[in-house]
Structure 1
Amino acid sequence: MKTWFYTIEMALLVMVGLRVISGLIELTVAGLILKFNSIEKAVALNAVLAIVGPTIFITSVAIGLVGMSDKLSLSKFVFIGAGVVLILVGIRK
């Protein structure tokens, strides 16, 4: 009988955990919006999500970059960082 052992990098597990937490926060807010049944409260809750989303994004990208730090050159880090900044600038309202 063969046994298969898979190794999963810690950085990847943390990134997955952050995404799961982010999804749970989104679902919780959706439930709260339905519970409160108020446009004003829905807008306020969506404003909180506007803070949580980019924070999770930046944190998970940073963790991923740290996890790949031994495989990337400095110039690639600069390009990836510039890309993240451009994404954040592009989604600003």
Structure 2
Amino acid sequence: MAQTRGATGNAKPRVFETVSTEPTRKRNTTGTPKTKAKATGGVTKKRAPAAKKNKPTIKDKVEAAVEKAAGTVERKPGKKAAGTKKMNGTSGKAKVTTA
């Protein structure tokens, strides 16, 4: 059987904290992103380096176009992507320089 609060001897009124409805101010910090991250306690991530781009020769471009067409015909997306990368010069093939 349920009892009322008065019957249990704990009849003090309940007090609830009032919740503020006014908007909170956001602090603006000035400075470089590093100091801003330290001031706000945030985490900054390093950007990934851009893909190294080598200037493809005409021969590379022709080979890449053939490889890309073969990948399209054979329905092999990996081969097609390799042709595209070779054509753009981002395939990772080291550029040979003569000194």
Normalising by structure 2, what TM-score? 0.27
- Using CA pairs under 8 Å that are at least 6 residues apart, name the structure with larger relative contact order, 1 or 2: 1
The structure where helix makes up a greater share of residues is 1
Based on CA coordinates, which of the two structures has the bigger radius of gyration?
2
Normalising by structure 1, what TM-score? 0.28
